[in-house]
Amino acid sequence: MKSTVEVSEKLFELYHRVHRLINESMTEEGVSLARSKFLFFLSRLGPCRSTDIAGALKFAPRTVTEAIDGLERDKLVVRKPDPEDRRAKIVSITDVGRVVLEAAEYPRKQLIEEIFSTLDDKQLDQMHQIVTQLVAKAEEIRRRKAGGDEEPASGWRACLKRSPPRK
């Protein structure tokens, strides 16, 4: 029987291998996995402040600003003044950004399908159940360590308050 440490190390190995493959595949289509996270976030939740994006994606504000600078330079996002706060800017995905994101999503999904094709339906369901349990346990531990606090009301929740989700 494998130890929990051995199993967790295999999960980390799987994550890193899949992450690397997906990033390479998406980069060939014109957008890295990291940049696609910003585009996906904006395409799903609509226009947001960069501080909300940083909170939701758990990135440092400077990292978000630099990423948005690059995305804006490539015409994938646009920044406009926030009507509620003149000091802030609202970031939105452009039509070009949507096209690039869609083009990069296809190879990502194909790659994931290929990797998971080694599992039959029963194994896939079992894996989903197991990973869901582990995610719930990790969240329980996070909350306990945080003193039972919920996540701050920033990030994606703040974006939802500003605009309805996109379909």
Q: How many residues does the chain have?
A: 167
Q: Does some domain include residue 154?
A: yes
Q: Does some domain include residue 78?
A: yes
The residue behind tokens 């197991």 is 130
Q: Does some domain include residue 95?
A: yes
Residue 56 CA to residue 104 CA, distance in Å, equals 22
Q: Does some domain include residue 129?
A: no
Q: Does some domain include residue 79?
A: yes
From first to last of its 167 residues, the chain has per-residue pLDDT tens of 889 999 999 999 999 999 999 999 888 888 888 889 889 999 998 999 988 888 888 889 999 999 999 999 999 999 999 888 888 899 999 999 999 999 888 888 999 999 999 999 999 999 999 999 999 999 999 899 888 766 544 555 556 555 544 44
The residue behind tokens 């995610």 is 135
Tokens representing 62 are: 């400077």
Q: Does some domain include residue 11?
A: yes
CA 92, 48, 56: angle at the middle one, nearest 5? 125
Name the residue among 20, 24, 36, 21 with its Cα closest to residue 74: 36
CATH code for position 53? 1.10.10.10
Q: Are 81 and 90 in contact (CB under 8 A)?
A: yes
pTM over 0.85: no
Q: Does some domain include residue 111?
A: yes
Residue 77 belongs to domain spanning: 4-119+150-162
Q: Please tell me the total count of domains within the chain.
A: 1
Q: Does some domain include residue 15?
A: yes
